Structures are given as structure tokens and as C-alpha cells.
Amino acid sequence: MREFLSLSLLLMVAACGHTPPTFVCEETSQCSLHDDGRCVPSPGGYQTCAYPADCPSGLAYDDNGDLRGTCVEPSFLPDAAMPDAAPHPDSAPPPPDAPPVVREWAVPEIVANINEHDDELYPAISANGLDLYFSRSRRGESLTYELYVARRPGVGQPFGMPQPLTDLNTPDNELWAVPSPSDLELYFSRNGALMVSRRSNPASTWTEEINTRLTTSGPVSFTADGLTMYTTRRCPPEVNSGFGPCLFKSKRSEIGGDWSAWEYLKWPGEETETNRWNNAHISTDGLRMLLSSPFSASGVRVLQTSRDDAAGEWRGLAVINNLSLETTAESARWNATEDEIYLVQDPAADPIHGFNIYVSTLR
């Protein structure tokens, strides 16, 4: 059978104008003329042996035909088949005295196809970066909000037109929705009650709906394992006389299990009881936090803080200057890879159109 396949390939090669090789391989174990031989594709449509050489791919053909000594194109090799080679000069580490590479958040740009003549609030992107959840209110028609999702075929591509989550929307107020890291749970607010809907796989629709028996005001965020949840809600009576938003967390022992009662957490960088924010998004490893929508409304900036471990103290707050929008900057949330921040702005230059959803990219 092997001889028949080789003969067929030789005839095909001859028909294509290539000098037939003396050997057509089917597997790497046949390439033993030298060390580290590999059976690789060729431009002629057949497979033949190649061996280590000074080539971009690290391999050159040795078929005794017109390809002998020709470098194998890197595109012909799957990543796993690429031989070890000296690092490219461009990939060499910078010298010790080289200035650090500084990445910045770009000035936010409006997210296409999402915003209408309504308020669009609380954007939350799925872990795969393809589904953007948010809430929308029809100005002049209703004081309530409904949940929407917009999808895109790939990261970096535009979102399609938003679709309402008809299985979850009711005449009540569905204010925000946040998918869990597994994308199998969707947490949302209904009249202040924290609801969850589940599905069997990311391609199915949200159907089952459960009241967690917890209440909240701001959107939630999760650790990567889905077992710790953070949010903002009204302060406990012993803190600031129960006035304004405070930070809380809840835990559960397993996915699908009951959540514990909210546990109060001190705001980062807080020296008095005046530093408060309506929105806090904590990264999935629990080590970074975005703060936005200050309760005092005295500032509009988005801030960031970090800590060394999930039980450690938060460091001081750092302002992200490029996210300091004209009027309000709220509901700031990272995507899963933390190279995008979705946020909401009420543009002073266009107040009629209400709150709009923007995105900033780390460049």
C-alpha cells in the first residue's frame, strides 16, 4: 500500500512540473538520514524529508529532486512541528538600562451599533469577548430598564445589532446583567433582587431563573472559579450610618450552590468614610479593581488599585487619566484579558441621546 501511495504521488509531482524526488515519506520516522529529520509538505503536493538547516523554519528539503537544499516555508509547518531555533533578534530581552515599555489606555470610543436615543448602561462582556450585555431604557416611554445582548463573530470585529433578552425581561426593572466566567450563569438585577439564570452550554438560551435571596445595587464581579462574588450596595447601619454605597463580597462552596450573606469590605485607600463609588469591578484573580461613578459626584475619573494577594490590603488609588471623560465615567469593567475597558459616558456635547457605551483599548 505504501509503495502504491508513493507511486501515485510521484506521478502527480511529475504532472505538476517538479523533478520527482527519490523518496516520498508518509511519517517522520522514515526520515532517518540525519538527526532530527521530519516528514513535511512540499510545494509539489507530496511529503518528503527535511533536516535542520539555516532557514527561517529551521528546515531544508533533502528529496534529491529540484527542492533539494530549499528552505521549508514556515507556513508548511504546524507550530508543534517547528524545530527549536535560536531566538529572533527582535525577541531578545531588552538591555538592563532600556526604558520600560509603557502601555496606555486609549481615549474611549463609542461602541458601534449599540447606542440609540436611549440610555445604555452597565456594559459587561463575556469571557470569550463575543457577547456584550447591557441595559437600555426608552426615554419618555418608561422608567424601567430591560436587558439586551449584542454579539460579534470575533474579538476586534464590530458587534451586531442588540437583541432583547426576552426570556428574562419583565415589566419590572432589569437594571444590569453580568455573565459568570464559565458563561453558564447570568446574574442580573430585578428591582434590586439578585437573580441568576443558567444554561447547559454557551450556545443555548437563558431559561431557568432563580432568586438568590440577595439584594444589590451595583453589578457583580466574580473570581475565576465562580465561587466568590463582589458587589456594591447600601452600607451596613454601623458604617457611615448606613448611608451611601459600600463594597461587599459573598462566597459559595460549589457552582450552583447557595451564596453566603454579604460580607462588608472596606473601600481601598479609604481614610475617612467619604470615599465611595457606585461601581467596582474586581479582576478574576482578585488582585485588581476598577472604581468608577463616585458617590459624591465630585469627580468623573476611573481609578485602579491592586494588591499582592486575595486577602491583602489594597494599595492607593491611581487615576486612569484617559478615561476621565467630560461629564460622567461610570460602570467601568474590564474584559477577561484586561486589555479593554467598557464604560458609560453621558456626553456633554450630546445630552439628548443620554448615556452611551464606550470602549477603551490598552495600547
Cα 342 to Cα 59: distance, rounded to the nearest angstrom: 45
Give the closest residue to 334 by CA, choosing from 301, 307, 304.
Answer: 304
State the residue for C-alpha cell 450552583.
Answer: 256
Asked which of 37-51, 86-100, 109-123 is least confident by mean pLDDT, the reply is 86-100
Residue 80's pLDDT is what? 40
Residue 311's pLDDT is what? 85
Task: Categorize the per-residue pLDDT at 152 as very low, low, confident or very high, splitting at 50, 70 and 90.
Answer: very high
**Average pLDDT of span 153-170:** 92
Cα 336 to Cα 178: distance, rounded to the nearest angstrom: 12
145 Cβ contact list (under 8 Å, min separation 6): 119, 121, 135, 136, 137, 173, 174, 175, 176
Provide, rounded to the nearest whole percent, the portion of the chain with pLDDT above 90.
39
Give tens-digit pLDDT for 235-258. 999 887 888 889 999 999 999 999
Domains of the chain are 2-87 (no CATH), 109-361 (2.115.10.20)
Using an 8 Å Cβ cutoff, are 333 and 320 in contact? Answer: no
Q: Say whether pLDDT at 138 is over 60.
A: yes
| Pairing of the two strands 228-234 and 174-179 | unpaired
Cβ-count burial 10-19 (b if 16+ within 10 Å, e if not): beebeeeebe
Provide, rounded to the nearest whole percent, the portion of the chain with pLDDT above 70.
78
Give tens-digit pLDDT for 304-356. 899 999 888 888 888 887 776 555 678 899 999 999 999 988 765 555 567 88
Task: Categorize the per-residue pLDDT at 47 as very low, low, confident or very high, splitting at 50, 70 and 90.
Answer: confident
HEC secondary structure over the chain: CHHHHHHHHHHHHHHCCCCCCCCCCCCHHHCCCCCCCEEEECCCCCEEEEEECCCCCCEEECCCCCCCCCECCHHHCCHHHCCCCCCCHHHCCCCCCCCCCCCCECCCEECCCCCCCCEEEEEEECCCCCEEEEEEECCCCCCCCEEEEEECCCCCCCCCCCEECCCCCCCCCEEEEEECCCCCEEEEEECCEEEEEECCCCCCCCCEEEEEEEECCCCCEECCCCCEEEEEEECCCCCHHHCCEEEEEEECCCCCCCCCCCEEECCCCCCCCCCCEEEEEECCCCCEEEEEEECCCCCCCEEEEECCCCCCCCCCCEEEHHHCCCCCCEEEEECCCCCEEEEEECCCCCHHHCCEEEEEEEC
Give tens-digit pLDDT for 3-42. 433 434 443 444 444 454 556 787 887 887 777 888 888 8
Residue 284's pLDDT is what? 93
Using an 8 Å Cβ cutoff, are 303 and 278 in contact? Answer: no
The pTM of the full predicted model, rounded to 2 decimals, is: 0.71
**Bridge partner list, 198:** 185, 208
> What does the CA dihedral 283, 287, 251, 184 come to, rounded to 10 degrees?
30
